[in-house]
């Protein structure tokens, strides 16, 4: 496993922890208004994680986990991330991207770990800061 891949994993786990904390807090607030267990098991966690990630990436190209791990997401051509790139990356990562990992683990990381398949599809790459 490449060094940048380890940093990416650390960043993802930190972001997942923050997202889970916010999800649990909102669940207790919404429990009386929304009775559907499907909402609390599928919709709420995904909506919160995507919202937090989108807002943080749109504002500075880094989530809290990225800042802590010392990595930054940027466009391949060096410009600022667009909203469509962020959404495309998140959707691909959380749906089709997982199957790519299970199908070909050795090639998933690429040559240096800076661009996973879902990063490549969105036209972004991860760099160490």
pLDDT tens digits for range 4-13 = 999 999 999 9
Rounded Cα distance, 78 and 129, in Å:
14
User: Cβ distance 56 to 63 under 8 Å?
Assistant: yes
Structure tokens that stand for 122 in this block: 């969105």
Tell me: pLDDT of 106 over 80: no
The model's confidence at residue 97, banded by pLDDT at 50, 70 and 90, is confident
Structure tokens that stand for 63 in this block: 């989530």
């Amino acid at each position: 496993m490449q060094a940048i891949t380890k940093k990416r994993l650390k960043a993802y786990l930190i972001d997942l922890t923050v997202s889970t904390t916010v999800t649990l807090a909102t669940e207790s607030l919404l429990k009386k208004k929304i009775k559907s267990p499907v909402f609390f098991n599928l919709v709420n966690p995904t909506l919160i994680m995507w919202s937090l990630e989108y807002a943080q990436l749109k504002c500075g190209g880094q989530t809290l986990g990225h800042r802590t791990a010392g990595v930054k997401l940027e466009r391949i051509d060096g410009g600022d991330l667009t909203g469509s790139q962020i959404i495309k990356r998140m959707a691909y990562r959380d749906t089709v991207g997982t199957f790519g990992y299970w199908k070909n683990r050795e090639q998933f990381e690429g040559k240096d770990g800076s661009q996973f398949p879902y990063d490549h599809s969105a036209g972004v790459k991860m760099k160490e800061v």
